[in-house]
Amino acid sequence: MRHRKLTIKLGRTTAQRGALLAAQVCSLITYGRIKTTLEKAKASRRLADRMVTLGKRNTLATRRLAIARLRKVPPVGRLFSTIAPAMADRAGGYTRILKLGRRTGDGAEMAILEWVNFTLPEPKPKKEKAKPA
């Protein structure tokens, strides 16, 4: 029985799983939302929420812990400068998972993982072509 076993293994070794989750959280920090399978989204949400909690403390030690976990410096800088201050008034629940249905190829349940305060960027207005005289 799997009582009280919290690790979602995702069919990978520990090192592979850590690298996958770190890459997904870095992509979430960079782009604001990611599309992935439901199980990967659930596993990534735990790490993303923990990284925001580190970012809210904003000390040198927490910055080093975040870099050690995510393995990339630019996303950690963005996490500490923009995302964590935007979540300062929240006590938790920084991400949401939106279910999309099943993938056609293998039937895996797909989902979107995004920040709670995420808004879609405004589309750029199209430039009108110059009409020949």
Mean per-residue pLDDT for 83-99? 94
5-52 residue pLDDT tens: 888 899 999 999 999 999 999 999 999 999 999 999 999 999 999 999
Q: Does position 130 have pLDDT exceeding 80, yes or no?
A: no
**Distance, CA of 124 to CA of 127 (rounded, Å):** 9
Q: What's the confidence (pLDDT) of residue 133?
A: 65
55-75 residue pLDDT tens: 999 999 999 999 999 999 999
pTM: 0.86
SS3 91: coil
What structural domains does the chain harbor?
14-115 (3.90.1030.10)
Q: What's the confidence (pLDDT) of residue 66?
A: 97
94-121 residue pLDDT tens: 999 999 999 999 999 999 999 998 777 7
**Distance, CA of 69 to CA of 63 (rounded, Å):** 10
**Distance, CA of 26 to CA of 82 (rounded, Å):** 14
Q: What's the confidence (pLDDT) of residue 33?
A: 95
**Distance, CA of 111 to CA of 74 (rounded, Å):** 26
**Distance, CA of 124 to CA of 37 (rounded, Å):** 30
With tokens 């300062």, the residue in question is: 88
Mean per-residue pLDDT for 87-98? 94
